[in-house]
Structure 1
Amino acid sequence: MEIRQLEYFVAVAEEGSFTRAAERVHVAQPGVSAQIRRLERELGHDLLDRSGRAVTVTAVGAAVLPLARAALGSVESARRTVEEMAGLVRGAVRVGMVVSCGVMDVPELLAAFHTSFPGVEITLTEANSDELVSSLVDGRLDLALIGYAGPAPDGLAVRVLADEPLVVAVTDADPWRARESVPLDELLERGVICLPPGTGLRGALDEACGTRRPRIAFEVSAPPMVITLARRGLGPAVLAASMVPPDLHAVRITDPVPSGALAFAWRAEGPHSPAARALIGLAENRVTAP
């Protein structure tokens, strides 16, 4: 008994015709007929009734049909498994991350993935969150670590690592050094140090400001430079609470409280390669509830 014989039998039983079955399996009709005859001789019973205008299954054929379908299903599952494993051997994943993020050790995640799947090619890109979101939606990235404010970006599934308030970081010489909080209206009267538009942190600040625009005295592309400028006494620095170093004072922003999320993100609707699915699964397993 051969797999192709079962495939031809199922095709004829479902189509009710040798001609249509032959077209479906892309084999000449005599070849289909000959293989089914061999199968019937091997089993010792007719599986098809050829006496009418339409071909129908016999009682024995009706009993064999679901078993044949199950066998073909198992073969297809085995083929898909092999293809997926081949994808994990020869595949590629494209990863993005926001600049200078210390909440999740992305290189460590990629190293763990490489240990499990050494044949998969990995590329890593650093960019602002809006660029990463666009690349995910367009399919240029498989997975990215992004920051955002409000609901998750359209078209993306996310696994949140951290969701925390924004604060301003000041030095011992700053007028706000002894304060626990500052209203957003008061903050808007001072020039602040902040990341540029397109970053999750700036998006959280802009969302809290609404139609108002914050006074940005220094706009730099990475959190370490924001912190360096704040240490020089050049103004309050807008940061996520976890970013503030011990030598600066964190002052809460209130009325309202700006907040932003940091999350792994990927396209909510595939397609996802086997390698990408494996990396997404590994990332999800390494994320704890914020």
Structure 2
Amino acid sequence: MELRQLIYFDTVVREGGFTRAAQHLHIAQPAISAQIKLLETELGVALLDRTTRPPALTHAGELFRLRVRRILDHVDAARTEMTELADLVRGTLRIGATPVLGPIDLIAVMATFRSAHPGVTLSYRSGLLDPLVADLDDGRLDLVIGPEHPGLATGHHLEHLADEHFVLALPPGHPLTACARVDFTQTRDELFVCLPPASGMHTLLHETAAQAGFTPRVDFVADTPATVRAFVAAGLGIAVMAASTTTTPGPLITTRPILTPPHHPPITLITAKHPLAPAIRAFADQLKAALTTPEAAP
């Protein structure tokens, strides 16, 4: 049984006869008739009643037609998917990401993706989540990677990538390093370093401090977690930081668990709700594949 025989058979039925099927397929009528005859011989049943005009389906032909239609639908779907994959060899993928990405090595993922799809031009921009999501909504970015927040779920498609948690970052030798776990009330008289007021981290710090009964004194506002870490290492303050940002190479700091830590939202792939373009889907798959490897585990 050959695929072309199934196509010929289906076309004869849809077009209402051998002549119109031959015209539709641009194939000589005897060739179509011969192939369907071979198909019937192989199956051991007659599929078409050739005594009628146009040929009518036999009972076996009716049953067989249902199976053929399913097969051809699968073939069409496979052909569409392969065409979409072929489209990955060209185009642009615009990526936005926040500085906090948990265990995700985004640069390594981008390098692997570009090696696999050299025809796709990658662009990348880092920043705070809200401006990045605004650019996603306006079509200036194709995807955003960053912490989830409640307002995203209604207008975007979210895919969980990794979990994250907070720790207290301290200068080496700070008195609180003597604690196995720090109660946030113990930080009441400390100076804090934090990200800008527009960041989720700034809001979270003030909410956590309020629950502990005080307002934090933030003397230094830094634009990135790396800069926050540099201020802490220099002894200019302490900070609540995502754990992943304290384990990468950088200035020496000490970290301690927080007794009742604030919740860190999961790291999420954020895209528009409409069906994903092939390049976006492939990049998402690359991200998740990287996170399943031992090297990428938190």
TM-score by length of 1: 0.70
**Residue 257 (structure 1) aligned with residue 251 (structure 2):** no
C-alpha distance 265-287 of structure 1, shift in aligned 2 (>3 A): same
Residue equivalent to 2:42: none
C-alpha distance 138-96 of structure 1, shift in aligned 2 (>3 A): same
What is the identity, as a one-letter code, of the residue corresponding to 1:243?
Answer: T
- Residue aligned with 2:252, SS: coil
**Residue 271 (structure 1) aligned with residue 275 (structure 2):** yes
- The aligned length equals 268
**Residue 286 (structure 1) aligned with residue 286 (structure 2):** no
Deviation at 1:166, TM superposition (A): 2.6
Residue equivalent to 1:219: 221
C-alpha distance 159-100 of structure 1, shift in aligned 2 (>3 A): closer
C-alpha distance 199-9 of structure 1, shift in aligned 2 (>3 A): farther
Residue equivalent to 2:253: 248
Residue equivalent to 1:15: none
Residue 168 of structure 1 contacts residue 236 of structure 1 at CA under 8 Å; is this kept in 2?
Answer: yes
Counterpart Cα distance in 2 of 1:159 and 1:190: 35
Residue equivalent to 1:122: 122
- Unaligned stretches of 5+ in structure 1? 13-17, 19-29
Residue equivalent to 1:99: 99
Residue 166 of structure 1 contacts residue 257 of structure 1 at CA under 8 Å; is this kept in 2?
Answer: yes
Higher strand share: 1
**Residue 72 (structure 1) aligned with residue 72 (structure 2):** yes
Deviation at 1:280, TM superposition (A): 0.8
Deviations 1:165-201 (A, max 9, x none): 23132343x5545444443344355441111245454
Question: 1:237 pairs with 226, 236, 239, which one?
Answer: 239
Residue 159 of structure 1 contacts residue 284 of structure 1 at CA under 8 Å; is this kept in 2?
Answer: no
Counterpart Cα distance in 2 of 1:48 and 1:86: 46
Deviation at 1:87, TM superposition (A): 1.4
Residue 194 of structure 2 contacts residue 222 of structure 2 at CA under 8 Å; is this kept in 1?
Answer: yes
C-alpha distance 132-7 of structure 1, shift in aligned 2 (>3 A): farther
Counterpart Cα distance in 2 of 1:238 and 1:116: 38
What is the identity, as a one-letter code, of the residue corresponding to 2:130?
Answer: D
C-alpha distance 166-198 of structure 1, shift in aligned 2 (>3 A): farther
What is the identity, as a one-letter code, of the residue corresponding to 1:164?
Answer: H
TM-score by length of 2: 0.69
- Residue aligned with 1:192, SS: strand
Q: Percent identity?
A: 27
Counterpart Cα distance in 2 of 1:252 and 1:85: 45
Tell me the C-alpha RMSD between the 2 structures: 4.1
Counterpart Cα distance in 2 of 1:48 and 1:209: 88
Deviation at 1:5, TM superposition (A): 7.3
What is the identity, as a one-letter code, of the residue corresponding to 1:247?
Answer: L
C-alpha distance 11-269 of structure 1, shift in aligned 2 (>3 A): farther
Deviation at 1:247, TM superposition (A): 3.2
Counterpart Cα distance in 1 of 2:206 and 2:243: 17
C-alpha distance 57-157 of structure 1, shift in aligned 2 (>3 A): same
Residue 47 of structure 1 contacts residue 60 of structure 1 at CA under 8 Å; is this kept in 2?
Answer: no
Counterpart Cα distance in 2 of 1:262 and 1:199: 16
C-alpha distance 200-11 of structure 1, shift in aligned 2 (>3 A): farther
Residue equivalent to 1:22: none
- Residue aligned with 1:87, SS: helix
Deviation at 1:111, TM superposition (A): 0.8
